[in-house]
Amino acid sequence: MNRDDFRAGLRGGFPVMLSASPFGALFGALAVDNGFSVADAVFMSATVYAGASQMVGIELFGNNVQPWLVVLSVFAVNFRHVLYSASIAKHIRHFTLIQKLLAFFLLVDPQYAETEQRGERGLPVTFSWYLGFGLVIYFPWILNTLIGALFGQLIGDPKAIGLDVLLPIYFLGLVLGFRKRDRFLPVVATSAVASVAAMHFVGSPWHVSIGALAGILLAAVLPPEHRLRQGPAPVEKEA
């Protein structure tokens, strides 16, 4: 372990930690509102450690969606991480296996972006730096979940304090984060119409799978857009 690198990592991750903190607390509060205990919420933040998919998970769980579909949705929302781990492979080749496993566990959006930039600037991506950057985000994420969950437990009616609009707006923000992607508008329009129709005709949990499938199938069938993609996929903003 290199202490200077570790400290440099801590410093680099600090602003990320600050901006992620409200989302950690929000997750804790909404998880309790969706039927999680405080311990469940903290456990999820500590093990899954992926803001957007945690929110999707509690939303679907609260709606009694089938477990396999919840897990599939978490997988889908996190799918971009496949691109991240493929892309940073070249920078962390010198890590030991244990270090690599830990590095992949901590691989959230800003961790990916910063590692990629550091590598491209020619700075060494040491395990000490990577760990410092990751841990200064990871532990406060768990702590903020705890604070939010405890606070959420004190709340009587989430509607009276406007808590119920936060999840749909949060998801709306995530959708907007993908708006530069190919076929974004047709996919979103199709999934929107299909999910609203499915909600009406089939019922609550199924609107997710039916709506999502409609958009995904459309993307596969549409002719490719005449735009060549180069380099790694852009990092989408996420909590």
Side-chain-facing half-sphere of 105: CA atoms under 13 Å: 13
- Which lies closer to another protein via its Cβ, residue 84 or residue 127? 84
Q: Are 149 and 171 in contact (CB under 8 A)?
A: no
Under a CB-based contact definition with an 8 Å cutoff, are residues 51 and 77 in contact? no
Q: Is 36 a residue that touches another protein (CB under 8 A)?
A: yes
How far, in Å, CA of 110 to CA of 174, rounded? 15
- Residue by residue, what is the 3-state secondary structure of 180-198? CCCCHHHHHHHHHHHHHHH
Which of 143, 124, 101 lies closest to 5, judged by CA? Answer: 124
Residues written for the chain: 239
Residues 167 to 226 in contact with another protein, rule: CB under 8 A: 167-178, 181-184, 187-188, 190-196, 199, 207-208, 210-220, 222, 224
Which of 101, 123, 155, 202 is close enough to bind another protein by CB under 8 A?
A: 101
57, 110, 132, 134: which one binds another protein (CB under 8 A) = 57
Q: Which amino acid is at 38?
A: V
- Asked whether 133 and 9 are in contact (CB, 8 A), the reply is yes
Residue 104 near another protein by CB under 8 A = yes
Nearer to another protein, 8 or 30 (CB): 30
Report if residue 25 touches another protein, rule: CB under 8 A. Answer: no
Query: Least distance from C-beta 220 to another protein, angstroms?
Result: 4
Residue closer to another protein by CB (options 70, 146) is 70
Taking CB under 8 A as the rule, does residue 56 contact another protein?
Answer: yes
Size of the site for another protein (CB under 8 A): 95
Q: Residue 101 or residue 155: which is nearer to another protein going by CB? A: 101
Among 7, 75, 124, 201, binds another protein (CB under 8 A): 75
Please report the sign of the dihedral spanned by the C-alpha atoms of residue 179, residue 81, residue 77, residue 110: negative
Q: What is the Cα–Cα distance from 100 to 85, expressed in whole angstroms?
A: 10
Shortest gap between Cβ of 104 and another protein (angstroms)? 4
Q: Which of residues 112-151 bind another protein (CB under 8 A)?
A: none
Return d(Cα 194, Cα 217) in angstroms, integer: 12
Question: Which region, judged by CB under 8 A, interacts with another protein, from 4-12, 128-136, 143-151, 159-167?
Answer: 159-167
